[in-house]
């Protein structure tokens, strides 16, 4: 069964599939987590790319993309859904991408003041920070201290996860 309630649960499933050696499921769940990250990345990239020219456009494009994703899911589920596993996986992909769009937009607009919790927030932050790295103007204007603190926190979490995986699966 597939659900889209939070990304933290998908990290737990991801680690379970890795530990079990279910590589196909591991890749699928990893793809879902990536779609969430990518939604956050795209949303933030649009905001920081368009903000100076047109604030309304910068904030509305991610919302419009989110609305389109939700409309596709809603219309498809109402009229065409046959309850197959493939359909569920595709619809879930759209939902997770739209969740990333929404959380990235909220985090970016609030200047990191409004955030989600657990690994959902960490994944959102990584998407936001990755998109900021692509914009040289943002890099020059942002305090490197704030970005470096955020990256060091996320690096520490990821490094500990990698160490844990090596302890569980030493052959990887």
Our count of domains for the chain comes to 1
| Residues ≥6 apart with Cβ < 8 Å to 146 | none
* Residue 2 maps to a domain: no
With DSSP H G I counted as helix, E B as strand and the rest as coil, what are the percentages for the chain, rounded to 5? 80, 0, 20
Residues in the chain: 172
* Residue 145 maps to a domain: yes
Distance (Å, rounded) from C-alpha 100 to C-alpha 120? 9
- Domain with 160, as residue range(s), is 7-166
Which SS3 state, helix, strand or coil, does residue 126 take? helix
**Whether 32 contacts 95, CB under 8 Å:** no
| Residues ≥6 apart with Cβ < 8 Å to 60 | none
Distance (Å, rounded) from C-alpha 65 to C-alpha 97? 10
pLDDT tens-place values along the chain, 172 residues long: 456 567 777 888 888 898 899 999 999 999 999 999 999 999 989 988 887 788 888 889 999 999 999 999 999 999 999 999 999 999 999 999 999 998 888 888 877 666 665 566 777 777 777 787 777 655 555 544 454 555 555 455 455 555 555 555 555 5
Cα separations (Å) of 164 from 24, 99, 158?
A: 21, 28, 10
* Residue 81 maps to a domain: yes
* Residue 162 maps to a domain: yes
**Whether 120 contacts 103, CB under 8 Å:** yes
* Residue 118 maps to a domain: yes
* Residue 172 maps to a domain: no
């Amino acid at each position: 069964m597939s659900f889209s309630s939070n990304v933290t649960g998908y990290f737990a499933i991801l680690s379970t599939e890795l530990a079990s050696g279910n590589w196909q499921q591991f890749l699928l769940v990893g793809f879902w987590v990536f779609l969430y990250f990518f939604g956050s990345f795209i949303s933030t990239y649009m905001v920081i790319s368009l903000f100076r020219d047109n604030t309304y456009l910068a904030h509305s494009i991610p919302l419009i993309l989110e609305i389109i994703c939700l409309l596709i899911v809603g219309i498809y589920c109402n009229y065409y859904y046959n309850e197959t596993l493939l359909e569920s996986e595709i619809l879930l992909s759209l939902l997770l991408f739209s969740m990333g769009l929404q959380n990235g937009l909220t985090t970016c607009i609030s200047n990191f003041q409004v955030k989600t919790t657990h690994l959902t927030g960490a994944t959102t932050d990584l998407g936001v920070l990755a998109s900021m790295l692509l914009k040289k103007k943002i890099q020059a204007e942002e305090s490197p201290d704030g970005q470096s603190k955020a990256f060091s926190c996320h690096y520490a979490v990821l490094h500990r996860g990698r160490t844990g995986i090596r302890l569980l699966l030493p052959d990887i």
